[in-house]
């Protein structure tokens, strides 16, 4: 009877964590204030840039094309992505209490992971859109019609919810000991697993398999799409035409490289290589910095977006810009 009571007491101790403490970036008051100002500026700029892009796509008829439909979805994901983590991080930078309840931590982990998986797959869909636009321009509006685009987005969300539920269920079924300090600025799966007081190999295997599916599979599709795109570009006779066509893809290539590079480092490496300080920087990059850079990259390289901004601000000349399904 005593042994049974001891086992019951041990189980209670390993599953009684009701909240976690997020250690964040620094405990130095002056550094915290500096980080608060920096991250607040980045967050506000992210909200402004991505909200502006969504507004432009919605209001400017020249941007009512599949490419901009997906781009608006990307901006929505980036806004949601950063809002899941940054506001809480800002509060913790100004507060001595950095706790988050177990339920809130799981919710944050679920939402963040789901949005991240959706964004991974969305990049592949955007690459396919560029492939159809460049390799099959005459059939572009037929293949990428509104119904197909909406079904693609719905399919992406279904995949995101499914894979996220799979990962989070394997993560939350583990018992967590009294050690509840997370050396991170938000509840991310690799950091949470470090606190588990049971064998995490099965959960790590599930995460790795899902990472292969949602990272390498879309990345492979992106690479295949660009192989066909490159072949089509090389068949263009004029150098100017080749450059003009390839320039429609440079924005997408840039953001894919930034996002996938950091995400693959975080989720496709051995658990033994986990380094809290280094991983926080990588998480910050693909969570916050990439969301800030996306609207800048697409707008700076995109004549149609520039034209829409000029039109919205009243600086554009009538007829100076023309709609195009192919040009980015």
The model's pLDDT over 173-195, given as tens digits with 9 standing for 90+, comes to 888 876 788 888 888 888 888 88
User: What's the fold here for domain 20-310?
Assistant: Rhopdopsin 7-helix transmembrane proteins (1.20.1070)
pLDDT < 70 positions in the chain: 1-16, 26-27, 29, 178, 245, 247-248, 266-276, 300-302, 306, 309, 314-328
Residues pairing with 77 in the sheet = none
The model's pLDDT over 117-150, given as tens digits with 9 standing for 90+, comes to 999 999 999 999 989 988 898 999 999 999 999 9
| Three-class DSSP category at 182 | strand
End-to-end CA distance of the chain: 72
Note whether 321 and 62 are within 8 A (CB): yes
The count of other CB atoms within 10 Å of the CB of residue 188 is 22
The mean predicted confidence, pLDDT, of the chain is 81
Task: Give the global pTM.
Answer: 0.82
For residue 285, CA distances in Å to 19, 27, 51, 104, 319 come to 26, 21, 20, 23, 39
* Domain residue ranges in the chain: 20-310
Please report the pLDDT score of residue 150 as a whole number: 95
């Amino acid at each position: 009877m005593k042994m049974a009571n001891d086992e019951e007491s041990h189980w209670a101790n390993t599953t009684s964590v009701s909240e976690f403490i997020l250690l964040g970036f620094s405990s130095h008051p002056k550094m915290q204030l500096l980080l608060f100002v920096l991250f607040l500026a980045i967050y506000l700029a992210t909200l402004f840039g991505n909200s502006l892009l969504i507004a432009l796509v919605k209001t400017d008829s020249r941007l009512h094309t599949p490419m901009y439909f997906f781009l608006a979805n990307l901006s929505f994901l980036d806004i949601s992505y950063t809002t899941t983590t940054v506001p809480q991080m800002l509060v913790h930078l100004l507060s001595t209490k950095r706790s988050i309840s177990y339920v809130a931590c799981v919710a944050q982990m679920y939402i963040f992971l789901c949005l991240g998986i959706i964004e991974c797959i969305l990049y592949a869909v955007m690459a396919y859109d560029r492939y159809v636009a460049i390799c099959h321009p005459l059939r572009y509006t037929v293949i990428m019609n509104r119904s197909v685009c909406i079904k693609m987005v719905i399919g992406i969300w279904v995949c995101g919810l499914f894979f996220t539920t799979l990962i989070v269920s394997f993560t939350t079924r583990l018992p967590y000991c009294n050690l509840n300090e997370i050396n991170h600025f938000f509840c991310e799966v690799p950091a949470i697993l470090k606190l588990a007081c049971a064998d995490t190999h099965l959960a790590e295997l599930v995460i790795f398999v899902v990472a292969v599916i949602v990272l390498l599979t879309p990345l492979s599709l992106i690479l295949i799409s660009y192989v066909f795109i490159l072949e089509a570009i090389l068949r263009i006779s004029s150098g100017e035409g080749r450059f003009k066509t390839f320039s429609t893809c440079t924005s997408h290539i840039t953001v894919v490289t930034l996002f996938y590079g950091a995400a693959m480092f975080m989720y496709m490496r051995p658990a033994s290589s986990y380094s809290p300080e280094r991983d926080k920087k990588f998480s910050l990059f693909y969570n916050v910095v990439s969301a800030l850079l996306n609207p800048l990259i697409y707008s700076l390289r995109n004549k149609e977006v520039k034209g829409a901004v000029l039109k919205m601000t009243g600086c554009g000349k009538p007829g100076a810009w023309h709609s195009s399904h192919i040009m980015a």
